[in-house]
Amino acid sequence: MNGAKYREILDENLLRSAQDLRLGRRFTFQQDNVTLSTQPRPRRSDLSECPRVSQPEPGLELDRTSLEILQIAVQQRSPFKLRIYREEWEKLPKCRCAKLVATFPRRLKAVITAKGVSTKY
């Protein structure tokens, strides 16, 4: 990748996103200046690990989300099997899922109001 290609990617993605979010000139783009070739290649042993649950947006997390509980239950068994995920998902109490769904409108509103900054929970 050269500088022209990098600027083209920024023009197509970053600036359009800033305009969609109506940030105007209020945003700062920061980069770490790491070249693409410095990314370490994954080791063979890394490929067999169970993927981690990504961090949710600020304010959208519960004490322990259903995905974390599901991941713990699967790791206690043998990970890497979709069937196990389905079985453990079916074992989750419906009230936990209902609570998660019921609180999302309020949490989404708080995140939108805070414009992605941490919310007070």
| Least trusted range by pLDDT, from 25-29, 43-47, 61-65 | 43-47
How many CB atoms lie under 10 A from the CB of residue 114?
14
For residue 79, the model assigns a pLDDT of 52
Q: Are 59 and 107 in contact (CB under 8 A)?
A: yes
Report the C-alpha gap between 120 and 115 in whole angstroms.
13
Q: How confident is the model at residue 104 (pLDDT cuts 50, 70, 90)?
A: confident
Distance of CA 4 to the CA centre of its chain: 29
Give the Cα separation of 72 and 86 in Å (integer): 14
Q: Report the candidate in 78, 98, 109 with the shortest Cα–Cα distance to residue 119.
A: 109
Model confidence pTM above 0.85: no
Task: With beta carbons less than 8 A apart as the criterion, state whether 103 and 62 touch.
Answer: yes
> Given a cut of 50, is residue 46 above it in pLDDT?
no
